Amino acid sequence: MQSWYGLAGSGLRWLYDQRIDAPALLDQEEWFPGGADFAAAWRELRNEALAVAGMLDQIPRFHEIMSQQSAISDNDGRDWRMFVMKAYGAKIPRNLDRCPVVASLLERHPEVVSATFSYLAPGKHVPEHRGPFRGVLRFHVGLSMPRDASGKLGAVLWIEGVPHYLDDGDTLLWDDTYPHEVLNATDKVRIALLLDVWRPHMPADMAALSSVLVGTVGLIAQVRPDAFAG
């Protein structure tokens, strides 16, 4: 039986599907031109992410932040840790203080509603799943993308079954309500910056609903900031 979270996600996806018709992959220049600033700063962002990785065992696992994500985070005994700096509009000051480059970019780009350093342990598999909310887009910046024993990129993101291998500094803008999964088939941690970006060009009713959803989740994050702190 589906959990309440799964049922709510299915309902939201159905509702947005009726009003927004968009592909899984989107053109960054049209849908998130601000992404160019994050891409240009990827080396500085990597430095901050690597500095944070020095306290990796203190960074919460995804399911420790959000228990509803246990099926994809606590599924194989390998860690998926999230250093959240902004969560649906709510800033996490303690974490942003450690990452001034991220903080500066977020100030310049308020369309970014969430920002997280994602640390995927060696061998970690995130099973296929779908995000619930089409009001935001996912922007992925590769920061430390490991290679396998043969020297090939060894961390893969499948979106609708299509594999994507991102290198250091590579970016991808996509809709995470489409089925996707991740595998880090290397012996090193895969580090990426994940941004949730406000979707432009939404119908007025969907923009209003999205504002309510973002505001509600952001309020919860403001009430419990310690859940995100590293």
What does the DSSP assignment read for 117-184? EEEE-TT-EEEEE--S-TTEEEEEEEEE--B-TTSSB-EEEEETTEEE---TT-EEEE-TTS-EEEEE
Q: pLDDT per position in the chain (230 positions), as tens?
A: 445 566 667 888 888 888 888 899 999 999 999 999 999 999 999 999 999 999 999 999 999 888 888 999 999 999 999 999 999 999 999 999 999 999 999 999 999 999 999 999 999 999 999 988 899 999 999 999 999 999 999 999 999 999 999 999 999 999 999 999 999 999 999 999 999 999 999 999 999 988 888 877 776 666 555 555 55
- How far lies 29's CA from each of 32, 36, 134, 157, in Å? 6, 8, 19, 21
Question: What is the per-residue pLDDT for 228?
Answer: 55
Question: What is the per-residue pLDDT for 147?
Answer: 96
Q: 70 and 63 in contact (C-beta within 8 Å)?
A: yes
Q: 128 and 183 in contact (C-beta within 8 Å)?
A: no
Tokens (6 digits) for 5: 């979270």
Q: Which among 73, 190, 75 is positioned nearest to 140, based on CA atoms?
A: 190
Length of the chain in residues, anyone? 230
Show me where the domains of the chain are located. 4-18+31-227
Q: What burial class does residue 228 get, using C-beta atoms within 10 Å of its C-beta: 0-12 exposed, 13-18 middle, 19+ buried?
A: buried
Question: What is the per-residue pLDDT for 67?
Answer: 82
Torsion 200-128-83-121 (CA) sign: negative
Phi-psi region of 30 (alpha: psi -120 to 50; beta: other; left: phi over 0): alpha
Give me the torsion for CA of 133, 193, 92, 78, rounded to 10°: 90
Q: Which among 202, 153, 195, 190 is positioned nearest to 173, based on CA atoms?
A: 195
Tell whether domain 4-18+31-227 is in CATH 1.10.10.2520.
Answer: no
